[in-house]
Amino acid sequence: MQNEDQNQIRSLDVPIFLTGFMGSGKSTIGQALADLLGRPFIDLDTRIEAMTNRSIPDIIASDGEEKFRQIESEALREVARMGTAVIALGGGAILRAENRELMSSRGISVWLDVPFEVCWQRIQQDENVRPLAPDEATALERYRQRLPFYQQSSLHIKVDQSEPASAVAEEIFGRLGEAE
């Protein structure tokens, strides 16, 4: 990448929000992108767990999804003020209009478009509990519900199952200028 391109990207002094369904690779690709850009990386779910001293499944089981979404919005507002971080959102953060507005006004949103079948395979293999995807039918319904919101992102990145995170990060890097 030429220095001119790198300077242009660095001048995009805004957060980059990675959106996508559960299992789309937001955390892995987000870390690779942050490393590539020389920016801090924030996983919003990890941030929520640190803020609340509770796991996401525990918050949802004890307080319900709506309370979790309120906490998630609060955490998103906080990290969006941190400037140039790369922020991996939870798969459902995009559902709230206030979150979409915040991302639109404060930074660049990038949708990691991974086919549902790949996401479901990863969800099944993941050791993390996904209380909002207890079975394939429920997960597919959530995927379909969220799709129109993901499609509103500034950038749309189709992710092939075999692509390494570094290659996806390079593609995002190369396309960030389109999102200005």
Domains of the chain, residue spans: 3-179
Confidence of residue 26 (pLDDT cuts 50, 70, 90): very high
Which backbone phi and psi does 38 adopt, to 5 degrees?
70, 40
In this predicted structure, what is the pLDDT of residue 135? 85
Which CATH topology does 3-179 take? Rossmann fold (3.40.50)
Least confident of 4-8, 24-28, 115-119, 123-127: 4-8
Which pLDDT tens digit goes with each residue over 62-121? 999 999 999 999 999 999 998 889 999 999 999 999 999 999 999 999 999 999 999 999
Q: Are 111 and 153 in contact (CB under 8 A)?
A: yes
The dihedrals phi and psi of 157, each to the nearest 5 degrees, come to: -115, 110
Neighbours of 78 (CB within 10 A): 13
31 has a pLDDT exceeding 80: yes
Per-residue pLDDT of 40-52, as tens digits, reads 999 999 999 999 9
**What pTM did the predictor assign?**
0.89
Q: Is 170 exposed, middle or buried (0-12, 13-18, 19+ CB in 10 A)?
A: middle
Summarised one tens digit per residue, pLDDT across range 117-140 is 999 998 888 776 677 777 889 899
Cβ pair 85, 40 in contact under 8 A:
yes
